[in-house]
Amino acid sequence: MFGTTKSVLAAAGLLLGSHLPSALADNPIIQTLYTTDPAPVVYNDTLWLFTGHDETGASNYDMRDWRLYSTTDMVNWRDWGSPMSLKTFSWAKADAWAAQVIEQDGKFYYYATVTKNSGGYAVAIGVSDTIEGPYTDALGKELLSNGGIDPTVFRDENDGNKVYMYWGHNSPAYHIVLNDDMISYEGSIAQENLQNFVEGPWLHKRGDKWYLTYSSFGNGNEDIKYATSTSPAGPWTFAGQIMASQGNSFTNHAGIIDYKNGSYFFYHNGALPGGGTYSRSVCVEEFEYNADGSIPLLKMTSEGAAQIEPLNPYQRVEAETIAFSSGLTTAAAGDGGIYVTSISQGDYIKVKGVDFGADGAASVDVSVAAAQGASGTIELRVGSQDGTVIASCEVASTGGATTWETVNCPVTGATDQQDLFFTFQGGDYNFDWWQFNKAE
């Protein structure tokens, strides 16, 4: 798949000019594990992406926790670990399926699908004072008495800030209006008839139109269709297909959001190595609404969205800030901090569009930890994983796998905007953060 990605980028370079390939991103956007059911939300000028998580090697749906990532440039994604899991809900035992977070009065509410200990699907609600969690059980039981999966939540600012929740599975879709406490609802459950609705509703608004996007029976695998309305409560008018059946995952699931002037369509497929129906990965495409407000037909690509702004290397950057990676994964330390681990010979991390400035960098600090006997070298390269080496940082034992030490290494040849690659020699050491220092 790397060969394919490179040749696509090379073709784009020929067409669009040589500076543009580095502005293209790589799908799927997370490579350290399998992610599903994207639910983006913009908060504090950052795009936060809540996802599900397919266990590696699963031969059926095996989902035990939810995951969180963030970006400010649409290509470099910071890993925040797992903000919520089945363990959060003592009354739930399986199926950490689709979920979405919404803020209300400084608290964050996380509406999620689970299967109860007693059997049957349910909507669980997590709550946290911070968007990154950890979330705790807000209600101690299911929200709805009739089960239901795939909740989507949306605040209607035109209607007293009422929060609407839609959900549904192989049936009509349903909706309720949540009370201000976010853990109960007013009135009764309304039923919606959406053409070929299966699951995964996503409710959003643009201009004076509301959009209900959903997973539907396509040609084999699920496709994504949508309906529109002049009210968040419907009635809904079928509006067409957004993404045809494509890729090698049976399900697909949409999340749509505007961020920094761009419109983005998140979905999942089986495009990572080893991927498929039970090992899915979240991807993103940028799109423009048609003049009449309709959404164009989108294709799954390996390029993804363009970079919005360059990354500043002269501030501390978490090592788990990744545009693309190979081989390694991430883990949470005792204090919840995330670091890069499972490093072995030849693994790499790509950070896209790093702006070193005209004067460039003099040195770089890397925070690493290595148990007795573990050692290696982090080679920093620009352009590609085989590109020019700008720094070589030796990693020796620090006395423990999470005993962090900062290593300072001289840098040569890092100027202007470049894709930065951390290529790992040796292995079994861990990597927490990095920061460049400017040339005088």
Ligand X SMILES: *[C@@H]1O[C@H](CO)[C@@H](O)[C@H](O)[C@H]1NC(C)=O
Interface positions with ligand X (CB under 6 A)? 44, 260-261
**Complex with ligand X: residue 177 or 306, whichever CB lies closer:** 306
Nearest-angstrom CA–CA distance, 214 and 224: 6
CA proximity to 325, closest of 342, 337, 306: 342
CA proximity to 101, closest of 59, 58, 134: 134
**Complex with ligand X: residue 46 or 245, whichever CB lies closer:** 46
Q: CB 90 → ligand X: shortest distance, Å? A: 29
Nearest-angstrom CA–CA distance, 377 and 343: 11
**Complex with ligand X: residue 78 or 352, whichever CB lies closer:** 78
Q: CB 207 → ligand X: shortest distance, Å? A: 16
Choosing from 95, 192, 199, 303, the catalytic residue is: 199
- Length of the chain, in residues: 440
**Complex with ligand X: residue 145 or 261, whichever CB lies closer:** 261
Nearest-angstrom CA–CA distance, 101 and 127: 9
Using the structure block, give the residue that is written with the tokens 């002049």. 230
CB-CB contact of 99 with 111 (8 Å): yes
Q: How many C-alpha atoms does 51 have within 13 Å on its Cβ side?
A: 31
Cα four-point dihedral sign 140, 146, 151, 153: negative
CA proximity to 137, closest of 153, 149, 122: 122
**Complex with ligand X: residue 44 or 170, whichever CB lies closer:** 44
Q: CB 107 → ligand X: shortest distance, Å? A: 12
Q: CB 131 → ligand X: shortest distance, Å? A: 7
Identify the DSSP state of 211: E
Element housing 30 (H / E): none
Q: How many C-alpha atoms does 281 have within 13 Å on its Cβ side?
A: 25
Nearest-angstrom CA–CA distance, 243 and 246: 8
199 catalytic? Reply is yes
Q: CB 71 → ligand X: shortest distance, Å? A: 12
Choosing from 26, 37, 79, 223, the catalytic residue is: 37
Phi, psi at 11, each rounded to 5°: -65, -40
Q: CB 429 → ligand X: shortest distance, Å? A: 28
87: three-class secondary structure by DSSP: helix
Q: CB 264 → ligand X: shortest distance, Å? A: 13
Nearest-angstrom CA–CA distance, 141 and 122: 9
Element housing 8 (H / E): helix 2-16
Cα–Cα distance list, 215 to 59, 104, 119, 196, 332 (Å): 22, 27, 24, 8, 33
Q: CB 15 → ligand X: shortest distance, Å? A: 23
CA proximity to 100, closest of 41, 146, 142: 41
**Complex with ligand X: residue 188 or 315, whichever CB lies closer:** 315
**Complex with ligand X: residue 72 or 363, whichever CB lies closer:** 72
3: three-class secondary structure by DSSP: helix
**Complex with ligand X: residue 279 or 307, whichever CB lies closer:** 307
286 catalytic? Reply is no
Q: Which residues are catalytic?
A: 37, 199
